[in-house]
C-alpha cells in the first residue's frame, strides 16, 4: 500500500518492528524487549488484511526474546506462551507444539508431556478439523515421549532381568507405553512426510516385539512410496534393518543402490563397495567401481584412507587380472581433467605423507596406476617411503615398475 | 414551556418538544412548525452547550450515559486545547474572547446551534428506521460500511464488518451506531456544504485564534507541541465526562491515528476563516513575531548561522515585498492573495540567501570554505570568518543525533490510552480482554528492557537546537563574520559568488498539481538537500514544502530577468 496513505500509527508500528528486527539480529535482547513493549498495543488494532498480523509477530518475537534474554526464566517463558495460546485460536495447536519443543530443549520432559496431552484433548468447533495436521503432530510427539518412557522401562527391565528378577509392574507399564506409542507413531507415518525419528522409534518397537513383517512394510513404504519426499535416510534405515535381519546380499544391494543414486557421497558407500567387490557377478563388481569413484569425487572423502583403500584394492586387482581395464578407463575419462589437481598434487603428496602414511600409500597406488609412476604424487610418496625403508612402499615401487605402462592404456 | 397557544387539532394546551426541537401536542401528537429558540447557557465554563432544547432529552440511558452531540465533544476538545495553550503562556483573552467567539460563529454558520432549525432533527429520521427495517434494506440510507469508510481514520475491515453484523435492531430514539446522538449523521454530511468539523480542524481553530492575537507561535511549532504532547489531541476524548459515552462511529470522528499535517491544518484554517466571514485579521507588522525578519532571526540562530546573514534576509524580504503588511496580513475569502506560511516562508528566505552567498552547487561552497580557512589562519580580527565546511560538520552531527533520537521516539510512541474503545457494547468484553493482555505484555517486556526509563516528556521549548557562544570548542557560529565570502564593490558589500541557479525555470500551476516545483533529492545538489533537510527537521514538514516556497521567492526575486528571458524566447519563436 502507498506510504502516503498509511496512518502515522501504522508507520510508527512498522518502524518499531524494524528496530526490533535489527536488535534481534544483533542479539540485543534488552533493546528488542524495549521496542516490543511499545509494539504490543498493535494487538488492539486488527490487521486482518496483513499477511502476518501483530499477534503472530508478538508470539514469534516474544518467544525469541524470552528464550535468549539473560533475565528471563522458564516460568516467565511458560506464562508468556499461555497468553499466546489464548491470542489466536487458529494458531492454538501450533503455539502448543512450539512450546513443547522449547520445553524439550530445556529438558523438561514431563512438562512437555503434560502440554502435549492437554493439547491432544483440545476441541474447538470447526477449528479442530482445520488444524488436523497440527493435531497429528501433537499426537506423534506425545507418542514419541511414550516411546521414550517405554525405552526407560525397557532398560530397567533388562537390568532386573540380569539380576534374575522379573518385575511384572514394570512390564505392564512398559506394554502400556508401547501401545500408546505404537498407535500414535503409526498414524503419523501414514501421512507423506519426513518422519525419520518417528519411523526409527516405531521400527524399534516393532522389532522388540517381533513384528518384523510390519517393520519391513513400514520401512518399504517410507523408502519407496513415491508420495513421500525423497529421503536418503529412509534407505539407510531400510538397509540397516535388512542387515539386522540377515537378509540376502541381493536385497541389501538393491537398498544401497538407491542410496548411491541419491547421495553418492554417503558414508555407507564404503560398505557398499566392499560388498560389491566381493560379488561373483561382473555387473556388481562394475557397479562397485563406479560407486567408489563417485564417492571420492567429494571433498569430504579426500582424506579417507578407508575409501582410498577400497579403490586401491579394486584397481590393483583389475590391473593384476588384466581383465576389465576398460572399466577403469571409463571411470577415468570424465575425471582425468580434474582429479590430478584435486587429489594428486605435489602439495597433497607432501601433506598426506606427513599426516597419514596409510592414506598416502593407498593414494600412491591409485595414482601410479592412473597416472603412471612418473607422476608427481607417486614419485614423491614412493621416494619418501623407500627412503624410510618401509616395506610396503618398496613393494609398491616394484609393482609399479612391473605395470608402468598401464596408465597409457587407461588414458588411451 | 412558554408556549401557550391552543393546539390546532384538539385545542388542548399540552405541549411537548420533539428531539428536533419542534412543538407537538401531547394529546393528539400534532406536530407544529414552531421551533424553540436555542438557548445557550454558560458557554465555555459549562462544558455542555444546550444548543437544542432538550425538553424530552433522556438524562439516563441504560449504561449511565446521557445524550450528547458531536459538536459538544469538539467543544470539549477545543476547551482542553486552549487551556493547554494558556499554560504555555498564551494570553487569556484567546480562550474567553477569541476562540469561543469563533466557535460560536462556526456553530451558527453550520447550523448546529444558535439558529432556528438545528441540523439534529434529521437524526430522528435515521433512528426510527432501525426498529422496523434491516440495516441494509433502505437503499437511500447509506450503508453503515459506507459511513465507516467516509471517515479519515484507517478502517480495519474485520472490526468494521464485525461491528456491522453486531448492530441489532433497537427501538430507542438514539442511534446505536454511535454513543453520540448524531454520530452517523455527522459522517454522512456532504462535505462541501457545511465544513464538517474534524479533529485536525480543532487545530485550525487554535491556529486561527493564535493568528488573530498574533501570538509568537508558528503553525509548525503548534503542531510540534501537539506531537510532543503539550497540547491535547491524540487521546483527548479520554477527558470527556463519564456520561458522554463514546462508541461506534464516534471513534471514527474523535480517534485519530495520524498526526495532523501542516498542509491540512493550514488549508482548513483558511477555509474556516472564509466560511465564518471573518474580516481582515490584525496587521502583521515588522514588530510582529510572525514577520519574516523576526522569524528569520530566530531560524538563523537555531540553524547556527552567523547573525550577519540577517542583513541579507532583510534585503531579500524587502526586495520582493514579502515584508509588506498587506502581503502578510490575512484577508479571509480573498482568493487572489497568496496564503502565507510564515514559518516556511522565513526558512525559504534563508535558503535563498545561502544560495546567493554560497551557490550550493556542491563545488563553490567548499571552495569558498577553503578560502575562508586560509584567511582565518592570518585572521587577527576578533571574530573568525565563517567556514561553510566547519558549519556543515557541526550542524550535521547535531542534526543526525537529533534525527536518530526522533526516529526512535516515533517508533516507540504509544498511541493507545487507558480508556478502552469499543464499537459496540457487544464488543466490550473482547476489547477489555485485549487491553488487559496488552498491559500484561507491556509489563513483562518492559521489565526486560533493562534500566532504560521511559523518557519524561520534555518541557516545551521553542528551540530544538541550541548553540552557545560560551562553548570554547568553536561550535557556535553566530558571531562569525561573512567577510570571507563577501567583497567590496563600489563601497557596498556584495557576494563573491556571481552565479545563481534556479530551483525551477518555470513554476508549476499550484492549482493543478498542488506544487510550484517538484523536489526530487537526486536532481539537486547535496548541499541544497542538506539545507532543506535542516529546516525540514526544524519545522517538521517535508523538504518539498520548503522547496516550493524557495521556488516562489526565487521567481519573485529574479522576476525581471525571467520576464526578459521569456520575452526573448517568444520573439525568437515568432
Confidence of residue B124 (pLDDT cuts 50, 70, 90): very low
**CB proximity A62 to B under 8 Å:** yes
Distance from CA of B485 to the nearest CA of A (A): 41
The answer to whether residue B444 is domain-embedded is: no
Would the pLDDT of B469 be above 90? no
Residue B352 forms part of a structural domain: yes
Helix (H, G, I), strand (E, B) or coil at B386: coil
A69-117 pLDDT per residue, tens: 988 889 999 999 999 998 888 899 999 999 999 999 999 999 999 999 9
Whether residues A15 and B411 touch (CB distance < 8 A) is answered with yes
- Tell whether A1 is within 8 A of chain B (Cβ): no
Chain A residue nearest residue B255, CA to CA: A9
Sheet holding B22-25, edge to edge: B15-17, B22-25, B31-35
* SS3 track for chain A: CCHHHCCHHHHHHHHHHHHHHHHHHCCCHHHHHHHHHHHHHHHHCCCCCCCCCHHHHHHHHHHHHHHHCCCCCHHHHHHHHHHHHHHCHHHHHHHHHHHHHHHHHCCCHHHHHHHHHHHHCCCCCHHHHHCHHHHHHHHHHHHHHHHHHHHHHHHHHHHHHHHCCCCHHHHHHHHHHHHHHHHHHHHHHHCCCCCHHHHHHHHHHHHHCCCHHHHHHHHHHHHHCCCCCCCHHHHHHHHHHHHHCCCCHHHHHHHHHHHHHHCCCCCCHHHHHHHHHCCCCHHHHHHHHHHHHHHCCCHHHCCCHHHHHHHHHHHHHHHHHCCCHHHHHHHHHCCCCCHHHHHCCHHHHHHHHHHCHHHHHHHHHHHHHHHCCCCHHHHHHHHHHHHCCCHHHHHHHHHHHHCCCHHHHHHC
Question: Which are the contacts of B467, defined by CB distance < 8 A and separation ≥ 6?
Answer: B301, B304, B475, B476, B477, B478
Q: Considering its fold, how many domains does chain B have in total?
A: 2
ipTM greater than 0.85 = no
pLDDT the model gives residue B475: 82
**Does B151 map to a domain?**
no
List chain A residues with CB under 8 Å of B448: 29-30, 33, 65-66, 69, 71-72
Q: Residue B266 above 80 pLDDT?
A: yes
Plot region of A324 (φ>0 → left; ψ -120 to 50 → alpha; else → beta): left
Q: CB-based contact (8 Å) between A44 and chain B? A: yes
Distance from CA of B523 to the nearest CA of A (A): 21
First to last CA, chain B: 81
Tell me the pLDDT of chain A (412 aa) as tens digits: 455 677 889 899 999 999 999 999 999 999 999 999 999 999 887 666 677 888 899 999 999 999 999 888 899 999 999 999 988 888 999 999 999 999 999 999 999 999 999 999 999 988 888 999 999 999 999 999 999 999 998 888 888 776 666 678 888 888 999 999 999 999 999 999 999 999 999 999 999 999 999 999 999 999 999 999 989 999 999 999 999 999 998 999 999 999 999 999 999 999 999 999 999 999 999 999 999 999 999 999 999 999 999 999 999 999 999 889 999 999 999 999 999 999 999 999 999 999 999 999 999 999 999 999 899 999 999 999 999 989 999 999 999 999 988 888 888 6
Residue B449: list chain A partners with CB under 8 A.
30-31, 33-34, 37
CB–CB of B448 and A33 under 8 A? yes
Compute the distance between CA of residue B290 and CA of residue B278 in angstroms, rounded to an integer. 20
Q: Could you say which of B158, B410, B445 has the minimum Cβ distance to residue A37?
A: B445
Partner residue facing A36 (CB), from B434, B435, B445 = B445
Q: Which residue of B has its CA nearest to A36?
A: B445
In a domain, B306, yes or no: yes
Does residue B540 carry a pLDDT above 60? Answer: yes
Q: How far is B233 from chain A (nearest CA, A)?
A: 14
Which residues of chain A are within 8 Å of residue B453 when distances are taken between CB atoms?
A: none
H or E stretch covering B15: strand B15-17
Q: By C-alpha distance, which of A116, A77, A76 is closest to A100?
A: A116
Mean pLDDT of B208-223: 94
Q: Which residue has the higher pLDDT, B183 or A354?
A: A354
For the stretch A265-293, what's the b/e string if a residue is b when 16 or more beta carbons lie within 10 angstroms of its beta carbon? Answer: ebebbbebbbbbbebeeeebbbbbbbbbb
Q: Residue B16 pairs with which residues in a beta bridge?
A: B24
Sorted by sequence, the CB contacts under 8 Å of residue A246 that are 6+ apart come out as none
> Is the Cα dihedral A318, A320, A324, A325 positive or negative?
positive
Using the Cβ of A69 and the Cβ atoms of chain B, whether some distance falls under 8 Å is answered with: yes
Contact A46 B258 (CB under 8 A): no
In DSSP terms, B35 is beta-bridged to B22
From B555's Cα to the closest Cα of chain A, the distance in A is 29
Beta carbons within 8 Å of A242's beta carbon, 6+ residues apart: A251, A252, A255
How close, in Å, is residue A50 to chain B by CA atoms?
Answer: 10
A56 min Cα distance to partner chain B (Å) = 14
> Residue B62 falls within a domain, yes or no?
no
Residues of B with CB under 8 A from a CB of A: 153-154, 156-159, 257-259, 407-408, 410-416, 431, 434-435, 437-438, 440-442, 444-450, 452
Strand partners, B72: none
B260 and B233 in contact (C-beta within 8 Å)? yes
pLDDT band at B494 (very low <50, low <70, confident <90, very high): confident
Give me the domain span that covers residue B341: 292-403+464-562
Touching check for A332 and chain B: CB below 8 Å?
no
- Residue B433 has a pLDDT of 87
Residue B378, domain member (yes or no): yes
Sole residue written with cell 518417528: A198
Q: Please, what is the end-to-end C-alpha distance for chain A in angstroms?
A: 67
B36 half-sphere exposure, CB direction, 13 A CA radius: 26
Asked whether residue B283 is domain-assigned, the answer is: no
**In terms of pLDDT, which residue wins out, B265 or B429?**
B265
Evaluate whether residue B87 is within a structural domain. Answer: no
User: In terms of CA atoms, which chain A residue is nearest residue B261?
Assistant: A8
DSSP states along B455-508: PPPPPP-S-SS---TT-TTS---TT-BGGGGEEEETTEEEES------S-SS--
* pLDDT at residue B41, as a whole number: 33
Q: Which of B451, B479, B168 is CA-nearest to residue B304?
A: B479
Whether A41 and B414 lie within 8 Å, measured CB to CB: yes
**Residue linked to cell 525397557:** A154
Cell 439516563 identifies what position?
Answer: B60
Is residue B202 helix, strand or coil? helix
With beta carbons less than 8 A apart as the criterion, state whether B44 and B34 touch: no
Do residues A410 and A370 make contact, with C-beta atoms less than 8 angstroms apart?
yes
B402 in Cβ contact with B465 (< 8 Å): yes
As a whole number of angstroms, the distance between CA B453 and CA B447 comes to 10
pLDDT at B574 over 50: no
**The pLDDT of residue B57 is above 60:** no
pLDDT tens digit sequence for B505-523: 777 777 777 777 788 888 8
Q: Which residue in the block uniquely carries the three cell numbers 482445520?
A: A130
Contact B164, B145 (CB under 8 A): yes
User: Is A44 within 8 Å of B435 when comparing Cβ atoms?
Assistant: yes
CA-nearest residue to B227 within chain A is A8
Cα four-point dihedral sign A147, A148, A150, A155: positive
Burial label for B197, CB within 10 Å (0-12, 13-18, 19+), is buried
The overall longest dimension of chain B from CA atoms, in Å, is 105
Residue B219 and residue B225: Cα distance in Å, rounded?
A: 10
The lowest-confidence range among A185-199, B68-82, B173-187, B452-466 is B173-187
**CA of A83, closest CA in chain B: separation in Å?**
8
- Nearest-angstrom CA–CA distance, A106 and A100: 10
Nearest CA in chain B to A82: B437
Interhelix angle A54-68/A74-87, nearest 10 degrees: 170
Amino acid at each position: 500500500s502507498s506510504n502516503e496513505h498509511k496512518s502515522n500509527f501504522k508507520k510508527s508500528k512498522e518502524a518499531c518492528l524494524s528496530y526490533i528486527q535489527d536488535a534481534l539480529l544483533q542479539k540485543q535482547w534488552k533493546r528488542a524487549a524495549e521496542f516490543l513493549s511499545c509494539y504490543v498495543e498493535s494487538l488492539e488494532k486488527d490487521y486482518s488484511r496483513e499477511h502476518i498480523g501483530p499477534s503472530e509477530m508478538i508470539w514469534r518475537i516474544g518467544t525469541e526474546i524470552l528464550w535468549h534474554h539473560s533475565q528471563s526464566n522458564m516460568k516467565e517463558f511458560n506464562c508468556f506462551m499461555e497468553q499466546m495460546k489464548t491470542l489466536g485460536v487458529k494458531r492454538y495447536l501450533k503455539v502448543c507444539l512450539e512450546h513443547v519443543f522449547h520445553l524439550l530443549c530445556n529438558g523438561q520432559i514431563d512438562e512437555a508431556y503434560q502440554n502435549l496431552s492437554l493439547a491432544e484433548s483440545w476441541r474447538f468447533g470447526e477449528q479442530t478439523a482445520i488444524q488436523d495436521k497440527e493435531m497429528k503432530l501433537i499426537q506423534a510427539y506425545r507418542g514419541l515421549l511414550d516411546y521414550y518412557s517405554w525405552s526407560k522401562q525397557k532398560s530397567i527391565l533388562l537390568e532386573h532381568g540380569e539380576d534374575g528378577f522379573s518385575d511384572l509392574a514394570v512390564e505392564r507399564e512398559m506394554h502400556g507405553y508401547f501401545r500408546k506409542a505404537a498407535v500414535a507413531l503409526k498414524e503419523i507415518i501414514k501421512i507423506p512426510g519426513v518422519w525419520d525419528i518417528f519411523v526409527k522409534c516405531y521400527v524399534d518397537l516393532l522389532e522388540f516385539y517381533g513384528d518384523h513383517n510390519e517393520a519391513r512394510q513400514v520401512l518399504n513404504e517410507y523408502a519407496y512410496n513415491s508420495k513421500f519426499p525423497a529421503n536418503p535416510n529412509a534407505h539407510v534405515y531400510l538397509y540397516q534393518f535388512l542387515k539386522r535381519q540377515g537378509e540376502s546380499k541381493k536385497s541389501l544391494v538393491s537398498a544401497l543402490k538407491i542410496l548411491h543414486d541419491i547421495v553418492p557421497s554417503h558414508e555407507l558407500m564404503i560398505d557398499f563397495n566392499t560388498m560389491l567387490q566381493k560379488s561373483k557377478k561382473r555387473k556388481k563388481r562394475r557397479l562397485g567401481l563406479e560407486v567408489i569413484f563417485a564417492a571420492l569425487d567429494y571433498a569430504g572423502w579426500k582424506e579417507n584412507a578407508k575409501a582410498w583403500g577400497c579403490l586401491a584394492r579394486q584397481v590393483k586387482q583389475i590391473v593384476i587380472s588384466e581383465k576389465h581395464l576398460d572399466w577403469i578407463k571409463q571411470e577415468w575419462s570424465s575425471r582425468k581433467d580434474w582429479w590430478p589437481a584435486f587429489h594428486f598434487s605435489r602439495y597433497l603428496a607432501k601433506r598426506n605423507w606427513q599426516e597419514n602414511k596409510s592414506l598416502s600409500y593407498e593414494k600412491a597406488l591409485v595414482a601410479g596406476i592412473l597416472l603412471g609412476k612418473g607422476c608427481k604424487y607417486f614419485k614423491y610418496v614412493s621416494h619418501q617411503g623407500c627412503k624410510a625403508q618401509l616395506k610396503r612402499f618398496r613393494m609398491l615401487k616394484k609393482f609399479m615398475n612391473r605395470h608402468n605402462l598401464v596408465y597409457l592404456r587407461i588414458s588411451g | 414551556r412558554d408556549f401557550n397557544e391552543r393546539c390546532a387539532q384538539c385545542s388542548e394546551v399540552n405541549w411537548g418538544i420533539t428531539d428536533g426541537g419542534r412543538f407537538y401536542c401531547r394529546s393528539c401528537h400534532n406536530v407544529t412548525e414552531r421551533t424553540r429558540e436555542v438557548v445557550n447557557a454558560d458557554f465555555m465554563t459549562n462544558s455542555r452547550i444546550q444548543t437544542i432544547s432538550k425538553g424530552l432529552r433522556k438524562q439516563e440511558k441504560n449504561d449511565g450515559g446521557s445524550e450528547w452531540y458531536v459538536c459538544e465533544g469538539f467543544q470539549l476538545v477545543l476547551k482542553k486545547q486552549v487551556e493547554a495553550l494558556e499554560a504555555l503562556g498564551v494570553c487569556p483573552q484567546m480562550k474567553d474572547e477569541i476562540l469561543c467567539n469563533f466557535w460560536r460563529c462556526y456553530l451558527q454558520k453550520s447550523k448546529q446551534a444558535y439558529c432556528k432549525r438545528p441540523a439534529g432533527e434529521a437524526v430522528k429520521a435515521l433512528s426510527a428506521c432501525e426498529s422496523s427495517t434491516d440495516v441494509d434494506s433502505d437503499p437511500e440510507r447509506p450503508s453503515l460500511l459506507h459511513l465507516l469508510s467516509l471517515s479519515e481514520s484507517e478502517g480495519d475491515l474485520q472490526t468494521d464488518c464485525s461491528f456491522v453484523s453486531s448492530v441489532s435492531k433497537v427501538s430507542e430514539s438514539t442511534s446505536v451506531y454511535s454513543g453520540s446522538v448524531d454520530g452517523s449523521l455527522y459522517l454522512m454530511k456532504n462535505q462541501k456544504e457545511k465544513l464538517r468539523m474534524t479533529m485536525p480542524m480543532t487545530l485550525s481553530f487554535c491556529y486561527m485564534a493564535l493568528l488573530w492575537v498574533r501570538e509568537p507561535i508558528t503553525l509548525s511549532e503548534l503542531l510540534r507541541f501537539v506531537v510532543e504532547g503539550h497540547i491535547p489531541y491524540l487521546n483527548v476524548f479520554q477527558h470527556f465526562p463519564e456520561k458522554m459515552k463514546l462508541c461506534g462511529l464516534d471513534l471514527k470522528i474523535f480517534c485519530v491515528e495520524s498526526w495532523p499535517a501542516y498542509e491540512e491544518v493550514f488549508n482548513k484554517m483558511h477555509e474556516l476563516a472564509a466560511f465564518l466571514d471573518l474580516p481582515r485579521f490584525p496587521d502583521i507588522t515588522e514588530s510582529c513575531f510572525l514577520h519574516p525578519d523576526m522569524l528569520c532571526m530566530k531560524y538563523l540562530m537555531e540553524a547556527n548561522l552567523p547573525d550577519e546573514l540577517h542583513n541579507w534576509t532583510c534585503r531579500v524580504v524587502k526586495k520582493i515585498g514579502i515584508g509588506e503588511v498587506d502581503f502578510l496580513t490575512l484577508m479571509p475569502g480573498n482568493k487572489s492573495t497568496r496564503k502565507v506560511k510564515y514559518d516556511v516562508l522565513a526558512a525559504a528566505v534563508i535558503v535563498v540567501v545561502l544560495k546567493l552567498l554560497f551557490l550550493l552547487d556542491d563545488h563553490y561552497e567548499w571552495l569558498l570554505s577553503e578560502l575562508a580557512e586560509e584567511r582565518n589562519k592570518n585572521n587577527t580580527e576578533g571574530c573568525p570568518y565563517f567556514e561553510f565546511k566547519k558549519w556543515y560538520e557541526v550542524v550535521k552531527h547535531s542534526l543526525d543525533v537529533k534525527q536518530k533520537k526522533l526516529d526512535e521516539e516515533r517508533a516507540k510512541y504509544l498511541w493507545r490510552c487507558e480508556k478502552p474503545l469499543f464499537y459496540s457494547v457487544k464488543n466490550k468484553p473482547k476489547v477489555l480482554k485485549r487491553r488487559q493482555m496488552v498491559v500484561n505484555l507491556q509489563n513483562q517486556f518492559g521489565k526486560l528492557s533493562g534500566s532504560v526509563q521511559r523518557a519524561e516528556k520534555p518541557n516545551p521549548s521553542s528551540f530544538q537546537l541550541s548553540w552557545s557562544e560560551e562553548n570554547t570548542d568553536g561550535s557556535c557560529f553566530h558571531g562569525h563574520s561573512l567577510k570571507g565570502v563577501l567583497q567590496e564593490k563600489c563601497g557596498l558589500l556584495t557576494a563573491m559568488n556571481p552565479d545563481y541557479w534556479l530551483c525551477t525555470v518555470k513554476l508549476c500551476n499550484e492549482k493543478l498539481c498542488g506544487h510550484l516545483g517538484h523536489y526530487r533529492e537526486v536532481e539537486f545538489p547535496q548541499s541544497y538537500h542538506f539545507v532543506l533537510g535542516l529546516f525540514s527537521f526544524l519545522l517538521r514538514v517535508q523538504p518539498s514544502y520548503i522547496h516550493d516556497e524557495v521556488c516562489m521567492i526565487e521567481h519573485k526575486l529574479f522576476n525581471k530577468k525571467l520576464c526578459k528571458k521569456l520575452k526573448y524566447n517568444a520573439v525568437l519563436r515568432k
